[in-house]
Amino acid sequence: MSCGGAMTTFRLLDAIVGWERGRGPHDSQWLTGFHDPAGVTLAPLHAGEFGGISPWLPPPWLAPGCGRCEWFLAASDGPGKPPRRGRLLRLSDCACAWEPVWPDDCTPLPSADITAVASDGRRLAVADRSSGTILLFADGGDRVVARITCAEVTAMAFAPGRMLLAAVRHTPHLLRFDVAGAPLEAFLPALPDGVEAARLGIGRDGTVWVASPGVVCGTYKLWHAREGDAAFLAGTLAELAASMAQSALVDDAANGFCISRTDTDGSTISCCYGRGGEPLPPGGVVPASPAYQAQGQLLTAAIDSGIPRCVWHRVRIEADIPVGTSVSVAVSTADEPGTDAGGTSAAPWARFPAGVPHAVDWQECAAGALDFLIQQPPGRYLYVRLRLQSTNQTATPHVRRLRIDFPRVTSLDQLPAIYRGNADAADFTERFLALFDASIADLDAAIDRAPALLDAGGVPDDVLPWLGSFLGLALDPAWSPARSRAILQAIPQLYRQRGTLAGLKLAFRLVFDLEPAIEELAPARPWAALGRQSRTGSFRLFGRDRSRAIIGRSTIGATTIKSYGDPAADPFDAVAHRFQVLVPPVAGRSTLSLPRVQALVDSQKPAHTVASVRMGGGGFLVGTAAAVGIDTAFTPLPVPILGRAGNIRLNRMSVLRHRRGARLPTVWPSACNL
């Protein structure tokens, strides 16, 4: 599909191939992640310290309640001031106004100094420093259920199993209490030496996360542990985000915090409040302390094309650029590799060297551009300068790869030579056609990647239902992603064998992990005809008067009136195109039900056939209709019930017993048979 004249060569700069960093002391400044496939990022201000943890670990004076709309706030008069005594506020019904949890004349904490709040939707825990207690409330604060003596609580969180975890100042172990306030044994290791828990949270998988203050104000060190671990381990912000659900808290600062809301028109807005619950205007919350460097730069060594007077073509950038950050790339060419930096960078990059070429020789890409054409003089060597910037220093870009195409190959090579007669016109035409060549190349790349969409082993779990619908298969929501992938990968074989015994057995193995017994009734029909080859007593003769109604011979109500077919063919048509699926009993398989099995059989059998399903496990049967492995489970007899809706009729083979409480003996005496 591409119109280019020849195959282009390209050079990759990434963690796998390498970033071609120079060997000077200033070739890489305030950047990290050169060996990380996730990409190059701005360096953290301090190793192992993170900002922006509020959506997962709120401050101890703020706790989410039921859903995303309810919050509890220990009100304060402002930064550096103690919490307002007895003031616990609640935000509910997705409104933008806080209300007291208890009236002023009826508060359980009249002189409280609240240091930490925790809630799991129904229960509420409030730590009071003035009285040295933790109060447990039920029904969202309406009823006190327990009072725990515990001073200097710094953070609290509710754990699964109706437990409360509390961090106490200068105490290495997290304390654990039950719903009645009784202390429980510690189930986590001690915190590392010198670590004070400033924030506390429980992940979806039961992991306990602790945030301790970092060196820089507003940053934290993360620690995590689970029951049975030998020690708390240092964690990262990515691990925290993967373990815990994100709340509606956007950010918190010394003077307030912001909570995201869904507006009436469906858009997302942020409501900002001060520490006392008073509304703040947009931008009124002081941003959190920086977590990343403000700027970072990479200067590459001379990238050799191996082509004298090479015309470099194109640069493509693969990056994630959050709001408030930017990525810029500059290039410059040279015929000989240089060694000395020329010139200085302009503001705001004055403290960073410009690079080996002179400062005026660099070609900067447009702001926000991730794909640009190199417009530099021909040269064998290319220098690349990568700059990352963050305005608020709370987020960082991730640059995964740079791709450099050379030499310049466009569809101008397919046009007559007259279009290249004038150098200036040829240069313009080449750059003009490069725009269309780039679009066509993107289409070619999408076509090349199209088979990856049909790779059931490589697509994300969310794509599996779409892939199934594309292939004509409706995936059962009860199937695990691994089972869905196995079924999708086996679709070619299933379609080839559909309607056969092998195809039906394969479907059972994929869906239920078992091998059924399938009996075709036609080859095993019991009918026989009198003659020299038959023995009376070995076979049953087919009674035509029982197959269809015959005047003078058939019993009224016992036969079917048929107006089609040849009566002489009834012995052959009675069980033709019929088969039986015998499913062995499988213990502990709640998904193995008769409707699900019947639905699978109906979807895989030929349309002209009639299938019946019999599931084993109902008891030990003896006779020609019993199947070994299907009807050979030793189980108690069903409860006998007499009557029209019952399951027995009194005869010699009936066994009577009590409906409840009685057990049948292992061997029944003859007296039990009626």
Condensed to tens digits (0 to 9), the pLDDT of residues 139-148 reads: 877 888 899 9
The gap from C-alpha 509 to its chain's centroid, in whole angstroms, comes to 27
pLDDT tens by residue, 604-642: 999 989 998 988 766 666 655 667 667 666 666 667 777
Domains of the chain as residue ranges with CATH? 9-43+292-409 (2.60.120), 62-280 (2.120.10), 455-489 (no CATH), 636-674 (no CATH)
- Least confident range from 270-274, 340-344, 566-570: namely 340-344
pLDDT tens by residue, 361-389: 999 998 888 989 999 999 999 999 999 99
Q: Rounded to whole angstroms, what are the CA distances from 197 to 165, 238, 250, 280? A: 12, 20, 21, 29
- Put simply, whether the predicted model's pTM sits higher than 0.85 gets the answer no
Dist CA 134 CA 103 (whole Å): 20
Tell which wins on pLDDT, 672 or 468: 468
Query: Which tokens go with 399?
Result: 């640059």
pLDDT confidence band for 668 (50 / 70 / 90): very low
Please give the pLDDT value at position 1.
Answer: 46
- Least confident range from 207-211, 343-347, 571-575: namely 571-575
Q: What is the mean pLDDT of residues 423-437?
A: 79
Q: What is the mean pLDDT of residues 420-449?
A: 79
pLDDT beyond 50 at 667: no
pLDDT confidence band for 42 (50 / 70 / 90): very high
DSSP code, position 536: B
Measured over the CA atoms of residue 419, residue 424, residue 430 and residue 434, the dihedral's sign is negative
User: How many other β-carbons are positioned within 10 Å of the β-carbon of residue 215?
Assistant: 10
Mean pLDDT value across the chain: 82
Going by their DSSP bridges, the two strands 527-528 and 540-541 should be labelled as parallel
Give percent of the chain with pLDDT exceeding 70.
81
pLDDT tens by residue, 524-558: 665 655 555 555 555 556 666 667 777 776 777 66
Residues 6+ apart with CB under 8 A from 87: 74, 75, 100, 114, 276
Please give the pLDDT value at position 50.
Answer: 78
pLDDT confidence band for 3 (50 / 70 / 90): low
User: How many other β-carbons are positioned within 10 Å of the β-carbon of residue 14?
Assistant: 17
Greatest mean pLDDT among 323-332, 343-352, 468-477, 524-533 lies in: 323-332
Go through 405-437 and write b for each residue having 16 or more CB atoms within 10 A of its CB, e for each that does not.
bbebbbbbeeeeeeeeeeeeeeeebbeebbeeb
Closest CA to 67 of 247, 267, 210: 247
Tell which wins on pLDDT, 436 or 34: 34
